[in-house]
Structure 1
Amino acid sequence: MALILENETLCAKISEHGAELTSLYNKKNGIEYIWQGDPAFWGRHSPVLFPIVGRLKNDTYEFENKTYQLSQHGFARDLDFTVTKATDTTATFELLASDETKAKYPFDFKLVLTYTLTENSISFNYTVFDLGDRPMYYGLGAHPAFSTKLLPDDAYTDYQVELAPELKRKLIPLRANLLDLENTSASKTSLLPVTHALFKDDALVYELEEKPLKATLRNTKHGHGVTLTVADAKAFGIWSCYPAQGEFVCLEPWWAVADIYQTTGKFKDKYLIERLDGHQSKNYTFAITVF
Structure 2
Amino acid sequence: MTTDHVTISNDRLTLGVAPLGAEMQYLRTNDGDDLLWHGDPAFWSGRAPVLFPIVGRAVDDVIAVGNHRATMPQHGFARRSHFDLVESTATKCHHVLRASDGTRESYPFDFALHLTHELSGNTIGVTARIENLSNRPMPFGFGFHPAFLWPLPGAADKPHHVQLAAGGSPRRQPLHDDGLLDADLVPGPFENGQLELAEQLFSDGALVFPNGADSLRYGPADGPWLDFTFHNLPDLALWKPAGAPFLCIEPWHGTASRVGDGPEIGERPNSTTLSPGANKTFGYSLSVTV
TM-score range, shorter chain: over 0.9
- For residues 47 and 247 of structure 2, the distance between their equivalents in structure 1, rounded to whole angstroms, comes to 11
Q: How many residues align?
A: 284
In structure 2, the CA distance between the partners of 1:79 and 1:54, relative to structure 1 (3 Å rule), is same
Deviation at 1:267?
2.2
Deviation at 1:285?
1.9
Q: Which has the higher mean CA deviation after the structures are superposed, 160-169 or 135-144? A: 160-169
- Alignment-derived partner of residue 92 in structure 2: 90
- Alignment-derived partner of residue 3 in structure 1: 6
Q: Secondary structure at the match of 1:229?
A: strand
- Alignment-derived partner of residue 14 in structure 1: 17
Q: Per-residue displacement from partner, 1:231-265 (whole Å, max 9, x unpaired)? A: 432200011013xx110001111011100113122
Deviation at 1:130?
0.3
- Alignment-derived partner of residue 202 in structure 2: 199
Q: Which has the higher mean CA deviation after the structures are superposed, 172-181 or 136-145? A: 172-181
- Whichever residue aligns with residue 54 of structure 1, its letter is G
- For residues 290 and 20 of structure 1, the distance between their equivalents in structure 2, rounded to whole angstroms, comes to 19
User: Which segments of structure 1 move beyond 4 Å, counting only runs of 4 or more?
Assistant: none
Q: Which has the higher mean CA deviation after the structures are superposed, 279-288 or 170-179? A: 170-179
Deviation at 1:219?
2.8
Deviation at 1:200?
0.8
Q: Secondary structure at the match of 2:106?
A: coil
Does the CA-based 8 Å contact 1:31-1:150 persist in structure 2?
Answer: no
The answer to whether the aligner puts 1:30 opposite 2:28 as a matched pair is no
Deviation at 1:270?
1.6
Q: Secondary structure at the match of 1:271?
A: coil
Deviation at 1:153?
7.0
- Alignment-derived partner of residue 127 in structure 1: 129
For 1:254-273, what aligned pairs fall within 5 Å after superposition?
Answer: 254-273=252-271
- Whichever residue aligns with residue 227 of structure 2, its letter is T
Deviation at 1:149?
3.9
For 1:121-160, what aligned pairs fall within 5 Å after superposition?
Answer: 121-151=123-153, 154=156, 158-160=159-161
- Alignment-derived partner of residue 173 in structure 2: 172
Q: Which has the higher mean CA deviation after the structures are superposed, 187-196 or 199-208? A: 187-196
Percent of aligned positions with the same letter in both sequences?
31
Counterpart selection for 2:79 from 71, 77, 80? 77
- For residues 250 and 19 of structure 2, the distance between their equivalents in structure 1, rounded to whole angstroms, comes to 21
Q: Secondary structure at the match of 2:204?
A: coil
Deviation at 1:181?
1.9
- For residues 231 and 20 of structure 1, the distance between their equivalents in structure 2, rounded to whole angstroms, comes to 19
- Whichever residue aligns with residue 180 of structure 1, its letter is D
Bigger proportion of residues as strand: 1
- Whichever residue aligns with residue 159 of structure 1, its letter is H
Deviation at 1:65?
1.9
In structure 2, the CA distance between the partners of 1:231 and 1:96, relative to structure 1 (3 Å rule), is closer
Deviation at 1:154?
1.2
- Alignment-derived partner of residue 235 in structure 1: 235
Q: Which has the higher mean CA deviation after the structures are superposed, 66-75 or 189-198? A: 189-198
In structure 2, the CA distance between the partners of 1:96 and 1:248, relative to structure 1 (3 Å rule), is same
Does the CA-based 8 Å contact 1:11-1:26 persist in structure 2?
Answer: yes
Deviation at 1:187?
6.3
The answer to whether the aligner puts 1:106 opposite 2:104 as a matched pair is no
- Alignment-derived partner of residue 115 in structure 1: 117
- Alignment-derived partner of residue 285 in structure 1: 283
- For residues 136 and 251 of structure 2, the distance between their equivalents in structure 1, rounded to whole angstroms, comes to 27
Deviation at 1:167?
2.2
- For residues 19 and 186 of structure 1, the distance between their equivalents in structure 2, rounded to whole angstroms, comes to 33
- Whichever residue aligns with residue 235 of structure 2, its letter is A
Deviation at 1:290?
1.1
Deviation at 1:214?
1.6
- Whichever residue aligns with residue 224 of structure 2, its letter is H
The runs of 5 or more residues in structure 1 that have no matched partner are none
Deviation at 1:287?
0.6
Q: What's the TM-score once normalised by structure 1's chain length? A: 0.92
- Whichever residue aligns with residue 142 of structure 2, its letter is L
Q: Secondary structure at the match of 2:171?
A: strand
Q: Per-residue displacement from partner, 1:127-164 (whole Å, max 9, x unpaired)? A: 00000100001111000100114336715x73221112
The runs of 5 or more residues in structure 2 that have no matched partner are none
Does the CA-based 8 Å contact 1:215-1:251 persist in structure 2?
Answer: no
